[in-house]
Amino acid sequence: MENPQQNPEGVYPESDWEAIIEAVLFTMGNSVELRQLAIAIGQSESVAREVTEGLQKRYEKENRGMQVIELENTFQMCTKTRFYENLIRVAVAPKKNVLTDVMLETLSIIAYKQPVTKLEISKIRGVSSDHAVNRLVEYGLVGEAGRLDAPGRPVLFATTEEFLRRFGIGSMVDLPSMNPEEEEEILHEVEEELQMKLNGQGEIAEPAAGVTEENPQVLP
């Protein structure tokens, strides 16, 4: 076993940089910020990025079972999704998180409007969204992103790194955009539906029983 004190100055030859970053990503498991990788090899962030991207290409070229992915200026080592079926042959299959249409709709609103409160989400959907938001938080796709500077200090919600990872999005800027005509049409339809649901009661209606169980979607 190598002596961990053999290089107390933390100065490593360039030939070791890629191996060091590989070791850090493997050991940490979760995503690692670029600045942390830079500290690990004692170089600038630009150099750390270049070395990490070189490691990414090496894993892809050699057709490894692992890959290095980038998630908004952080990097993570993980298994390739195409080998998922092989993995579950020797391990207990993980519990699949089921996303209903209601949850997908709520998640879409949060992704495009974030940070956003539960009340704002409910106003857009026309029904209470507490249950959907709570389930998305439970699945790790949504998390608290501070509080709104308003009476009651309501919690603001935003998508998480797990959301990017599960849906294969490198950054929020990669979300598909709508043209103005499509956005106006959707907004008009939502307003009409909301007006019908309010039906002069002046409050948001609760969803009908069983509505959250229709057309479930399963995360990959």
Number of domains in the chain: 2
Q: Within this chain, do residues 63 and 135 fall inside the same structural domain, yes or no?
A: no
Among the ranges given (29-38, 72-81, 162-171), the one the predictor scored with the smallest mean pLDDT: 162-171
For residues 182 and 64, the answer to whether their CB atoms sit within 8 Å is no
Q: What range does the domain containing 45 cover?
A: 14-87
Alpha carbons 75 and 45: distance in angstroms, whole number: 12
| CATH number of the domain enclosing 145 | 1.10.10.10
Q: Within this chain, do residues 18 and 117 fall inside the same structural domain, yes or no?
A: no
Alpha carbons 23 and 27: distance in angstroms, whole number: 6
DSSP letters, 31-51, are -EEHHHHHHHHTS-HHHHHHH
- Does the pLDDT of residue 186 top 70, yes or no? no
Cis before 13 (ω within 30): no
pLDDT at 136: 93
Alpha carbons 64 and 88: distance in angstroms, whole number: 18
pLDDT at 82: 83
